[in-house]
Amino acid sequence: MNPTKPLAVAALSCTLSLLSPAMAEPIDWTSDTLLGARASMFFPGLNYLTFQHMNKLFATRTVAAGSQAWHLPSDATALNGPFQFEGEDYDLEAFLEKTRTNGLLVIKDGTIVHEQYRNSMTPATRHTVFSMSKSIIATLIGIAQSEGAIGSLDDKVTDYLPAMAGSGYDGVTIEQVLSMRSGVNWEERYEFGSDTQLTEVHDNALVAYNYRWCDYAERSGPKVTPGEAFNYATLDTSVLGCLLAAATGTKVSEYMSEKLWQPAGMEHPGYWIMDGPEPVGDEFYGAGFNATLRDLGRFGLMMLNDGQANGRQVVPSDWVSASTIPDAGYEPYEPGASLGYQYQWWTLTDSDAYAAIGLFNQFIYIDPERDVVIVKLSYSTDPLGWEEPNINFFKAVAEQL
């Protein structure tokens, strides 16, 4: 069987079977059914559902929540359109349908002013966030540095991951990896089912569980001088996750629960999908986290509040600034772009706003000037392409509140 060939009928059949009553343990995560389901998880006719149930397709590690949830008050406010998409004006509901939205949360001045669930999603549903995971990993790196587990951002990757010696990460600093300027030979091209570099690792690490993302990183080579050029690379975040685990001496899911998820008062456990079953797999650091809409809102509100959440300083305030305020040359990330990139966060060239952004239009949008956080979880037909209309929507909502 070719585990990477997405077949619509097979995807529908096998995925619906996975969403039925719980399977008996132990789970064979390499069965043909699961291989086919993982290969077909992006199928546009069904991804509204698979994105809400990734734990039925992958081995996972839980990020435990605590007993005291951070209470967010609510005061519903109408969001008035029109909102523009592909040259047409729409009211809110039509815009959400056109942009294939599963959930929308808007927080203003610490209060939920709009909360909406669609397509069977509920307040307890843990939705995939894809590359928003990168912003979470960066936040954990900041906590680890503040506690001394990581000495300095000038430290070399090989100080913590000796197996990277001789690879493209040899001689690269943590800061260069955080800012996607590692210089490693990597092309982030989303053409699943093709023979691209990203597809090769996706198919082998996530679909077939043949090897780990960091295994591939150990075999990588350099392309340009570290620090010379921005190159968005999920491989870089994978290395950051492995470095974090080595520096703290624990699993990233456990560290995240202890240092972030519980102190910040998250209401529900989150989970990471893995690039292999226990005990060999790692959390898919670059794009594998899943959480509820409100808990993602709490994460964004914590960043807006300079790292404070649930009455505690969870993340150092100077790390929040370092991660989200662009250094010289970091914004825009290329000439003419509307976005910059700092430490695993996207920044907006026309404001102080910044965002965590994931494939298929997952967003945490944070506007410090207007005291607004917006979370939008989606299931678009293509991995990329609707970022600009979504960001324009966020701007329009923030301006009217």
- Summarised one tens digit per residue, pLDDT across range 87-144 is 999 999 999 999 999 999 999 999 999 999 999 999 999 999 999 999 999 999 999 9
Distances (CA, A) of 138 to 165, 167, 236, 256, 273: 23, 22, 11, 11, 18
Q: Give me 263's structure tokens.
A: 């102190």
Q: Rounded distance, CA 294 to CA 115, Å?
A: 9
136: amino acid identity, one letter: I
pLDDT tens sequence across 245-297: 999 999 999 999 999 999 999 999 999 999 999 999 999 999 999 999 999 99
In sequence order, the β-bridge partners of residue 174 are: none
Q: Rounded distance, CA 227 to CA 230, Å?
A: 8
**Can you give the pLDDT at residue 24?**
52
**Can you give the pLDDT at residue 250?**
98
Q: Rounded distance, CA 164 to CA 216, Å?
A: 10
User: How far is residue 310 CA from its own chain's centroid?
Assistant: 22
Q: Rounded distance, CA 112 to CA 349, Å?
A: 27
The torsion angles phi and psi of 99, rounded to 5 degrees, stand at -95, 15
**Can you give the pLDDT at residue 36?**
94
Distances (CA, A) of 395 to 13, 44, 54, 134, 303: 40, 27, 30, 23, 18
**Can you give the pLDDT at residue 1?**
35
Q: Please say whether the beta carbons of 113 and 77 come within 8 A.
A: yes
Q: Give me 27's structure tokens.
A: 């789970």
- In this prediction the pTM is 0.93
Q: Give me 293's structure tokens.
A: 């809409």
**Can you give the pLDDT at residue 26?**
80
How many CA atoms, within 13 angstroms, populate the side-chain half-sphere of residue 250? 14
List of domains in the chain: 8-74+93-400 (3.40.710.10)
Flag residues of the chain having pLDDT under 50.
1-23
In sequence order, the β-bridge partners of residue 375 are: 105, 364
Over its C-alpha atoms, the chain yields an Rg (Å, rounded) of 20
Task: Give me the chain's average pLDDT, please.
Answer: 94
Q: Rounded distance, CA 172 to CA 260, Å?
A: 27
**Can you give the pLDDT at residue 364?**
99
Q: Give me 244's structure tokens.
A: 């974090």
Using N-to-C axis directions, what is the helix angle for 132-146 and 234-248, rounded to 10°? Answer: 30
Residue in 310, 322, 304 with CA at minimum distance from that of residue 142: 322
How many CA atoms, within 13 angstroms, populate the side-chain half-sphere of residue 135? 27
Per-residue burial over 172-195, b if 16 or more Cβ lie within 10 Å, else e, is bbbbbbbbbbbbbebebeeebeee
